[in-house]
Every structure is written in C-alpha cells, then in structure tokens.
Chains A and B, each alone.
Chain A
C-alpha cells in the first residue's frame, strides 16, 4: 500500500461496498426494536420481541442443541484435526501420504450436499445392518460436523507446525524427552493458538451449518439455523431480528476481545524485546 490519496471514484466505490454489506445488518438490528408485527413497517420503539424470544421454547431449545453440537463437534474436530495436522506436517513420506493429505482436505472442497447425502445413506444402511445409530439426531449431526470441521483444524494446525522451528523438537529429544512427551510438552503448547482458533472456527462452522444438518437431523433434533430457516419460510417475524441482533452482539464482543488480547500480548512482547536489546547494548 502506498500513501497516495484515494481518488473520489475509488472512495465512492468503497463507501458503496461497505453500505451494501452493512446496511442490511444495521436495519436488521434497528427493526428488532420495532413495535409493529410487520418486519418492514416501523411502528415505534419496543423491546417486546426480545422478551418474547426468551419465552419461545422452540428457539431456546434449538439454541441449546446448536451450542451443544457446536461444542461437541469442535472438541472432537480439534482432537482429530490436531493429530492429522501433526502427521501431515511432521511425517514427511509414508506410503499413501499424498492420498491421506487429499482425503483430509476433501470435506472442505466437497459440496456439502454430497457429503450430507452420502452420510445419510451410510447411517441408514448402518441402522439396517447393525442397528446403530438407532435414530438420526444429536449423534449423527455431531459426526457430520466433526468430519467437516476436522479438515479445517488440520489445515490450520499443519500450517502453524510448518512455521515452528523443528529444531525445538530436536532439542527436546536431545535433552532426553521421548516423542510422545515432546508432543505434549513442546509441540502442543506451541500450536495452542492455532488449536484455539481451529476450535473457534469449528464452533462457527457447526453453529451455522444448515445443509449437512438438514440431511442428518431427525424429528426430535432441530438446530437453530433450521428453526430460523423454517420461520423465514412461514413469514418473517421480528423475533428473528432480535435473535440475529443478539448473535451479532455476541460475535462482535468476542472478536473485539480476541483482537484486544492478541494486540496486547504482541505489544508486551515487542516492548520486552526492545528492552533486552537496550540492555545488551548498554552492558
């Protein structure tokens, strides 16, 4: 980037682009405080939709289920994805290594419709053959989401591992630590940040997944995106606006806090490095 002034044309395009992205979200939030039952007509300020949202048991239970599935699949995805990422980064050549790498990333590029459909068929035939899973619901959605999220975690962890100086692991081994111990004491703490972001990414992916969930959910298990989608089809309701506003608030706060923490630790680190340099040149 250079310091040249943006031309008025470019400025205008930038503004238009930002407006296009954010006006819908702002209007969504504004209309969540609408007194009127109609989504598009302003009828005065009110918070009644928030009140009714918290009394809507269908939505509350959908939120609960979605959060449970998101946390469960993120946990499983982080566990499996970290191991897969480690293998991809550290085990350079083994028979079938490129096949493994391809299969690991396949869920990311495969259309979700295909993954969802094939899993549905798998679960149905498994049920007929061995009776497990007995019904579609939490378990089947969890398996589907884990498969998808695991691929993302593996990619994030792998790229972080490739950044880390491998001589750190060599040094630990040289000092007498065995491979499994090195993984837990040296490697894992160094990729902790990547694992954390993989976890958050998985939670996000799982929370708003609709396509795969549609294939894998059963009658008793409706996730939040499914509820919203079905409500939209039956006609919009300011309750959904309220729900969306809360989501925007929660996500916004999380992003700001995460950014603040990262910036803070980076600044602290830079200050400490500068101090060390000053000290050594003085002494």
Chain B
C-alpha cells in the first residue's frame, strides 16, 4: 500500500485541494486546508469531533460550498459543481440506506439516476452484491439486516456508480468494537480490489492506522500533519499529533545546547537535561517540547548513571495489560511519566517487578525523543 502511494507521488495529484476555507457565520470550520491525493490512495482524515474533518468531507461531496479555495479532481475543477453532478460518492456514517427500498433497489438507485439501461443496472447490481457478499439478501429491506450487513450494502451502493473518488464518513463508527476490527480489513480489501481512490474521516486512530495509506491530522480546522501511519507515529511535528496518536510523555524547556550532532533541553519537570542525538534548526534559548513514547522508556530498580535522559521516581500506578504493563512513575517535580514495560523484562533479569511506592530509575536512549517546536 505504502509503495503504491510513493510510486505515484511523482505523478500529478489525482485530487488537489487548494487552500479551502469554510466559514459558518463568524466561526471558521475549515481554515485553509491544502492537500494532494494520489490515484488509488486510501487517505484518512483523523481528528476529534468538531475539528472540521466532516465539513471538509461534505465540501468534497458538494453538500457544502467552500467560502474560498479550489478542489480539482482528475483535472476537472469541481469546486462549484452540484453534489448530483460530481463523480464522487459517499458512504454515510448512519449508512443512510433508503428504508422503503430493498437492498437491490438501494444499490440501483444511483444507476437509475444516470438513466442506465435496465439490463446493465441489473448486471452492475449483481456484481456489487457479489463484491460485498450480500447476494442472497438482495430482496431484503434495510431494517431486516444487521449493522454489519447494512454497512456492506452502504458500501456497495456508494461503489455502484464507479466513482472517481469515494468518501467514507466514520465508516465503521456505528458498529460495535469487536465487529469493527474484523470489518476494517475486510473493507480495505474490498476497496483495494476495486481500486478506488478513497478519503475517509474518522476519530478512531486505530481505524486510520489500520486502513489508510496516508493520514492527515486535523485540529481546529487546520491540517497539522500529513504522512504514512509510521511517519506520523515516529515523527510527529507538533504536540497535538504526538498526544493524539498513541500515548506520549511531553517535557518542555529551553534549548541550552544546539550543535549539528546534538541538542540539549533543560527540562525543569525532569530535573535535568534531555539530550537528543541530532540537531534542530532554531535559535538557542527557544522554548521547545520533547516527546518520549512510553515504550521507549526503560525502567530499572538499580540506579543508572546520573546524567541526561534519566531520572529517579516512585511507582504511583501500575496498569497491567497482559504482555506488558504501564508504569506511572512520579518524578521529583511531581510530574508523572508513563513507561511501557514488557512483562518478561523482569523475568529475564531475574528481578521482582517493582510495585506501588517502590523507587525506580527511568531512562531512555538519546535517539528516542522527538523535538517539537509547536
């Protein structure tokens, strides 16, 4: 998936969103989003509710008219095109299946609007039913289907017109957790077998990480970062992304040493310096943040060599997750640092796992922290 996206990155973008702004009265829902999508990409817009991701999706579908900006799909400016004239289809969060029509009629609805000959409609509907394995339910009404089946019908309906762009609004949001995980991969397989370019909106980071080739993080109407799931997780470019994707420990302080091969940050909450083995570009004394993932933190019972990237603390909380535990270590400053420790960490060293109130030493390698300037 990632290869396909990279390979086509040299081509002209298939969908180009240029500086889109949407204002509702005084509030700005989408604030200057610019984004390029390649053909056959599965792109996820990820953000908490009210961040503008759904408004952006509705503008792509044509349900909302942008205040300013331009949307170009496959060389055609579609900014001002009505929803019914766009080669774009959407799968709604509530599925929006027409309750008074059968499954087959729901799927045929869009094709009938195009005045497609009856024989072709029947063939296409059968093809779509096979695609989502719903052939034997063709004559059922939507209320006679379970949630997962409704989701598949909604997908078939939105793919039936062979849209140039498929929009998915919280595609699995209406399903319960167990069913959701199973459906994620099924959905990705279907989308890839059809080869449709796809933008999905979700607030569920796991869903975005599993399904998408690239992710865009949105907050307060702005697109903060775009990248592959790995890029976003390993190299967040701001505090919001670092905290929104996965879990992290943030320390703030001024840059005291900035050399080409290392940066040192005076972190008051840590009671010492954070040392990073690569340089950043920025003036000395600049206030920055360092993000350290819990899985990168090492916990020891014995004192480690004093110096940067280490601190002493006491165990305030232990959350047990089976193969690993998350230790909440209270530092001298009162700051709580989270550390993810594999269970066999203690077995291998022949040690008793630390328990509540025990004194422990935390440390991490100099290549682990990520410096954030905003």
Q: Which residues of A contact B146 (CB under 8 A)?
A: 276-277, 279-281
Chain B, interface size category, equals 20 to 34
Given contacts A189-B100, A190-B100, contact A174 B143 (CB under 8 A): no
Q: Which of B84, B98, B143 contacts A176 (CB 8 A)?
A: B84
CB within 8 Å of B: which of A164-186? 165, 167-168, 170-178, 181, 186
Count A interface residues, CB 8 Å.
25
Whose C-beta in chain A lies nearest to the C-beta of B157? A175
Cα(A192)–Cα(B62), bound, Å: 28
- Asked if A1 CB lies within 8 Å of chain B CBs, one says no
Binds A, one of B87-95, B201-209, B276-284, B361-369: B87-95
Given contacts A273-B144, A276-B146, contact A171 B114 (CB under 8 A): no
Q: Are B113 and A273 in contact (CB under 8 A)?
A: no
- Asked if B218 CB lies within 8 Å of chain A CBs, one says no
- B326 CB to closest chain A CB (Å) equals 33
- Asked if B83 CB lies within 8 Å of chain A CBs, one says yes
Cα(A177)–Cα(B141), bound, Å: 21
- Asked if A272 CB lies within 8 Å of chain B CBs, one says yes
- Asked if B161 CB lies within 8 Å of chain A CBs, one says yes
Q: Which residues of B contact A173 (CB under 8 A)?
A: 63, 83-84
Q: Are A280 and B148 in contact (CB under 8 A)?
A: yes
- Asked if A275 CB lies within 8 Å of chain B CBs, one says yes
Given contacts A280-B148, A280-B149, contact A176 B100 (CB under 8 A): no
Q: Are B90 and A176 in contact (CB under 8 A)?
A: no
Cα(A277)–Cα(B144), bound, Å: 9
Given contacts A190-B100, A276-B149, A280-B149, contact A175 B144 (CB under 8 A): no
Q: Are B96 and A190 in contact (CB under 8 A)?
A: no
Given contacts A167-B92, A177-B113, A276-B149, contact A172 B144 (CB under 8 A): no
- A143 CB to closest chain B CB (Å) equals 34
- Asked if A269 CB lies within 8 Å of chain B CBs, one says yes
Cα(A168)–Cα(B109), bound, Å: 12
Given contacts A189-B100, A280-B148, contact A165 B94 (CB under 8 A): yes
Q: Are A176 and B161 in contact (CB under 8 A)?
A: yes
Q: Which of A168, A170, A176 contacts B113 (CB 8 A)?
A: A176
Q: Which of A171, A273, A276, A279 contacts B96 (CB 8 A)?
A: A171
Q: Are B96 and A167 in contact (CB under 8 A)?
A: yes
Q: Which residues of B contact A269 (CB under 8 A)?
A: 143
- B170 CB to closest chain A CB (Å) equals 12
CB within 8 Å of B: which of A204-254? none
Q: Which residues of A contact B100 (CB under 8 A)?
A: 189-190
Q: Are B144 and A177 in contact (CB under 8 A)?
A: no
Q: Are B149 and A176 in contact (CB under 8 A)?
A: no
Q: Which residues of B contact A277 (CB under 8 A)?
A: 146
Q: Which residues of A contact B62 (CB under 8 A)?
A: 174
Q: Which residues of A contact B149 (CB under 8 A)?
A: 276, 280
Q: Which residues of B contact A272 (CB under 8 A)?
A: 141, 143-144
Whose C-beta in chain A lies nearest to the C-beta of B149? A280
Q: Which residues of B contact A171 (CB under 8 A)?
A: 90, 92, 96, 98
Q: List, sorted by A's number, 8 A–B pairs whose CB atoms are closer than 8 Å.
A: A167-B94, A170-B96, A173-B63, A173-B84, A176-B114, A177-B84, A181-B113, A280-B149
Q: Which residues of A come within 8 Å of B, CB atoms?
A: 165, 167-168, 170-178, 181, 186, 189-190, 269, 272-273, 275-277, 279-281
| Leading 7 A-B pairs by shortest Cβ distance | A280-B146, A175-B110, A176-B113, A171-B96, A167-B96, A272-B144, A167-B92
Since A174-B89, A272-B141 are in contact, a sample of 11 more A-B pairs with Cβ atoms closer than 8 Å, ordered by chain A residue number, is A167-B96, A171-B96, A173-B63, A173-B84, A174-B84, A175-B84, A189-B100, A269-B143, A273-B144, A276-B144, A276-B149
